[in-house]
A and B are shown apart, each in its own frame.
Chain A
Amino acid sequence: MNWNTILFLLVPYAVVPLAVVASAYRLLYRPYTVSSLSSQILESRKLFWGSISFHYGLVLVLTGHLVALLLPRTITLWNAEPMRLYLLEATGLALGLWALAGGAVLAWRRYSDPRVRAVTKPADVLVLVLLVISMVTGVLTATLYSFGSSWFTAVFTPYLWSLATLRPRPDLVADLPWLVKLHAFNFFLLVATFPFTRLVHIVTLPLGYLYRPWQLVIWVRRPPRDSAARR
Chain B
Amino acid sequence: MNVRAHMSMMFHLDKCLGCHTCSVACKNLWTDPRGSEYMWWNNVETRPGTGYPTLWEDQEHFHGGWVRTRAGELKLRLHSRVKGLANLFYNPSLPAIDDYYEPFTFRYQDLFDAPAGTDQPTAIPISQITGEPIDIVSGPNWDDDLAGSAIYARNDPNLEAVAPHVRAQLEEVERVVFTYVPRICNHCLNPACVAACPSGAIYKRAEDGVVLVNDTKCRGWRMCVAACPYKKVYNNWTTGKSEKCILCFPRLETGQAPGCAHSCVGRIRYVGVLLYDADKIPSAASVPAGDLVHSQLSAILDPHDPKVVAAAEASGVDPGWIEAAGRSPVYRFVKEWGIALPLHPEYRTMAMMFYVPPLSPLMSTYEDGLAAPDVHPAHTDFDLSADLDRARLPIEYLANMFSAGDVKPVRAALAKMMAVRAFKRRESVEGSVDEATLELLHRAGSSAREAEEMYRLTTLASFQERFVIPKYHRETQIEGHVDPLAHKGSAGRGYLQASER
Selected A-B contacts with CB under 8 Å, 7 pairs: A32-B239, A114-B132, A118-B131, A119-B129, A206-B198, A215-B281, A229-B316
A27 CB to nearest chain B CB (Å) = 10
A51, A204, A210, A220 interface centre (most CB from chain B within 10 Å):
A220
Q: Report if B84 contacts A (CB, 8 A).
A: yes
Cβ of A52 and Cβ of B237 under 8 Å apart?
no
Contact pick for A206, options B85, B191, B278, B477, CB 8 Å: B85
Question: Which chain B residues (249-289) contact chain A, with CB distance < 8 Å?
Answer: 278, 281
- Bound-state CA distance A206–B198 (Å) is 6
| Chain B residue with Cβ nearest A47 | B90
Contact pick for A41, options B88, B95, B314, CB 8 Å: B95
9 extra interchain contacts, Cβ-Cβ under 8 A, other than A205-B88, A218-B204?
Answer: A32-B216, A33-B499, A36-B220, A38-B220, A56-B89, A209-B85, A214-B194, A217-B206, A230-B316
Q: Report if B199 contacts A (CB, 8 A).
A: yes
Cβ of A34 and Cβ of B219 under 8 Å apart?
yes
Q: Report if A146 contacts B (CB, 8 A).
A: no
B460 CB to nearest chain A CB (Å) = 36
Interfacial chain B residues near A162, Cβ < 8 Å: none
Interfacial chain A residues near B241, Cβ < 8 Å: 32, 35
Cβ of B200 and Cβ of A212 under 8 Å apart?
yes
Q: Report if A208 contacts B (CB, 8 A).
A: yes
- Bound-state CA distance A215–B315 (Å) is 19
Count residues on chain A whose CB falls below 8 Å from chain B CBs. Answer: 52
Q: A47-B90, A118-B131, A207-B85 are in contact. Are A215 and B316 (CB under 8 A)?
A: no
Contact pick for A37, options B88, B217, B500, CB 8 Å: B500
Q: A47-B90, A51-B90, A209-B84 are in contact. Are A221 and B194 (CB under 8 A)?
A: no
Cβ of B235 and Cβ of A38 under 8 Å apart?
yes
Cβ of B200 and Cβ of A206 under 8 Å apart?
yes
| Chain B residue with Cβ nearest A212 | B200
- Bound-state CA distance A121–B81 (Å) is 33
Q: A34-B219, A38-B222 are in contact. Are A119 and B475 (CB under 8 A)?
A: no
Cβ of B200 and Cβ of A208 under 8 Å apart?
yes
Cβ of A115 and Cβ of B129 under 8 Å apart?
yes
B219, B239, B314, B499 interface centre (most CB from chain A within 10 Å):
B219
Contact pick for B475, options A52, A209, A221, CB 8 Å: A221
Question: Which chain B residues (88-112) contact chain A, with CB distance < 8 Å?
Answer: 88-91, 94-97
- Bound-state CA distance A119–B473 (Å) is 41
Q: Report if A91 contacts B (CB, 8 A).
A: no
Interfacial chain B residues near A51, Cβ < 8 Å: 89-90
Q: Report if B203 contacts A (CB, 8 A).
A: yes
Q: Report if B207 contacts A (CB, 8 A).
A: yes
Q: A30-B497, A38-B240, A223-B476 are in contact. Are A55 and B89 (CB under 8 A)?
A: yes
| Chain B residue with Cβ nearest A208 | B200
- Bound-state CA distance A216–B217 (Å) is 13
Q: A223-B316, A226-B314 are in contact. Are A41 and B222 (CB under 8 A)?
A: yes
Cβ of A119 and Cβ of B207 under 8 Å apart?
no
A217 CB to nearest chain B CB (Å) = 5
Cβ of B220 and Cβ of A37 under 8 Å apart?
yes
- Bound-state CA distance A223–B476 (Å) is 8
Cβ of A119 and Cβ of B237 under 8 Å apart?
yes
Cβ of A35 and Cβ of B220 under 8 Å apart?
yes
- Bound-state CA distance A122–B387 (Å) is 66
Interfacial chain B residues near A54, Cβ < 8 Å: 89
Q: Report if B501 contacts A (CB, 8 A).
A: yes
Cβ of A36 and Cβ of B240 under 8 Å apart?
yes
Interface string of B478-501 (1 = CB under 8 A from A): 100000000000011001011111
A48 CB to nearest chain B CB (Å) = 5
- Bound-state CA distance A33–B240 (Å) is 9
- Bound-state CA distance A7–B491 (Å) is 39
A58 CB to nearest chain B CB (Å) = 10
Interface string of B10-22 (1 = CB under 8 A from A): 0000000000000
Interfacial chain A residues near B499, Cβ < 8 Å: 32-33, 35
Contact pick for B203, options A34, A37, A216, CB 8 Å: A216
Q: Report if B291 contacts A (CB, 8 A).
A: no
Q: Report if B218 contacts A (CB, 8 A).
A: yes
Cβ of B237 and Cβ of A39 under 8 Å apart?
yes
B225 CB to nearest chain A CB (Å) = 8
Interface string of A196-207 (1 = CB under 8 A from B): 001001001111
| Chain A residue with Cβ nearest B225 | A41
Contact pick for A33, options B225, B281, B497, CB 8 Å: B497
Q: Report if B171 contacts A (CB, 8 A).
A: no
B96 CB to nearest chain A CB (Å) = 5
Q: Report if A31 contacts B (CB, 8 A).
A: yes
Q: Report if A167 contacts B (CB, 8 A).
A: no
Interfacial chain A residues near B390, Cβ < 8 Å: none
Interfacial chain B residues near A47, Cβ < 8 Å: 90
- Bound-state CA distance A2–B205 (Å) is 60
Q: Report if B152 contacts A (CB, 8 A).
A: no
| Chain B residue with Cβ nearest A211 | B81
A203 CB to nearest chain B CB (Å) = 10
| Chain B residue with Cβ nearest A228 | B316
A36, A42, A216, A223 interface centre (most CB from chain B within 10 Å):
A216
Contact pick for A118, options B84, B95, B129, B219, CB 8 Å: B129
A210 CB to nearest chain B CB (Å) = 5
A212 CB to nearest chain B CB (Å) = 5
A95 CB to nearest chain B CB (Å) = 15
B366 CB to nearest chain A CB (Å) = 47
Q: Report if B82 contacts A (CB, 8 A).
A: yes
- Bound-state CA distance A121–B500 (Å) is 10
A206 CB to nearest chain B CB (Å) = 4
Cβ of A209 and Cβ of B204 under 8 Å apart?
no
Q: Which 8 A-B pairs give the minimum distances between C-beta atoms?
A: A35-B240, A206-B198, A31-B216, A37-B240, A35-B220, A55-B89, A216-B203, A209-B198
Q: Report if A63 contacts B (CB, 8 A).
A: no
| Chain B residue with Cβ nearest A54 | B89
Q: Report if B37 contacts A (CB, 8 A).
A: no
- Bound-state CA distance A25–B289 (Å) is 49
Cβ of B200 and Cβ of A220 under 8 Å apart?
no
Cβ of A52 and Cβ of B316 under 8 Å apart?
no
Q: Report if B354 contacts A (CB, 8 A).
A: no
A96 CB to nearest chain B CB (Å) = 17
Q: Report if B215 contacts A (CB, 8 A).
A: yes
Q: Report if B190 contacts A (CB, 8 A).
A: yes
Interfacial chain A residues near B191, Cβ < 8 Å: 215
